[in-house]
Amino acid sequence: MPPDNAAKSSNDEATTMTKFGPDWRATALSLLVVIGCTETQTPVGLDGTLNVFGGGPDNPIFGRTSDWVSLGADDTVSYKTVYPVGTPALEIRGGSENAARIRRVDAQLLATPFLFWSWNIVNGPPRHPVRLVVGFADADTPTEAPSGMKTFLRGAQPPAFSRSLTLIWGSSALQRGTLTTDRATADEKSRAAYVVRGGRENRNRWWVENLDLSHLHAQAWPEIDMANSRIVFTGISATGDIGTGTMQISGLRLSR
């Protein structure tokens, strides 16, 4: 765990469904280039935990193993291991262009609903360009992308998904707990955004997060029966329309 003075967040419940803003929309879900290897999926371990990535040099996000897919202008985002207080963390700097790295996973939403991580905002605009993104699918999710999505693929493709949730650092601490949802169209899949935390006064210190994805999913898409819903990818995205910024993340994992 990064710094001992990291403050643990409470499980704030999203209560606001008003429009938050357009900048979160430029995520991994409508980018122009996908680069990958042979397609695989990472299953949940016998202990009910799936470690998405750690902060050390053996992190698969650096090795680009076959369950990771890079999207967009990936060369505009830098990833490196840092040691804030002797514990490794992944430092991501992005925001000049749209890009993402997502890991294909296979996890039942109701069986592994909790997403844990710790993060520290180093610098950047008030609404940070680096975010976390989670993709969901169901038994009847079509395998093809929407007809209007101009996606050019090389190598492995992202998993089939029907909707996504982006977890962001907002411009104000007062926006914490804000949930917004855009419904699917002919060109775009349904997307929701949740403000996990925010505010300049909360930067440059470590925060430990624990989110119940099933609760957020129920609020964003109340019409969907989650019994057959799966988490099919999670990872990092950077939007390129609000400036560059640096974020440090450690210990991202799904758990029951």
Q: Where in the sequence is the domain holding 19, given as residue range(s)?
A: 15-200+214-255
On whether residue 58 sits in a domain, the answer given is: yes
On whether residue 3 sits in a domain, the answer given is: no
CATH of the domain at 40: 2.60.120
Q: Report residue 26's pLDDT band, with 50, 70 and 90 as the boundaries.
A: very low
| Tens digit of each residue's pLDDT (9 = 90 or more) over 146-193 | 443 333 333 346 788 999 999 999 999 999 999 999 988 877 889 999
pTM: 0.81
On whether residue 206 sits in a domain, the answer given is: no
> Cβ contacts of residue 220 below 8 Å, gap of 6+?
163, 165, 179, 181, 192
On whether residue 207 sits in a domain, the answer given is: no
Average pLDDT, the chain: 79
* Tally of domains within the chain: 1
Question: Mean of the pLDDT values across residues 195-215?
Answer: 97
pLDDT at 130 over 60: yes
Question: Mean of the pLDDT values across residues 46-55?
Answer: 78
Q: DSSP string spanning 196-253?
A: EEE-GGG-SS-EEEEEEHHHHHHHH-TTS-GGG-EEEEEEEEE-SSS--EEEEEEEEE
- Pairing between strand 179-182 and 33-36? unpaired
Q: Report residue 46's pLDDT band, with 50, 70 and 90 as the boundaries.
A: low
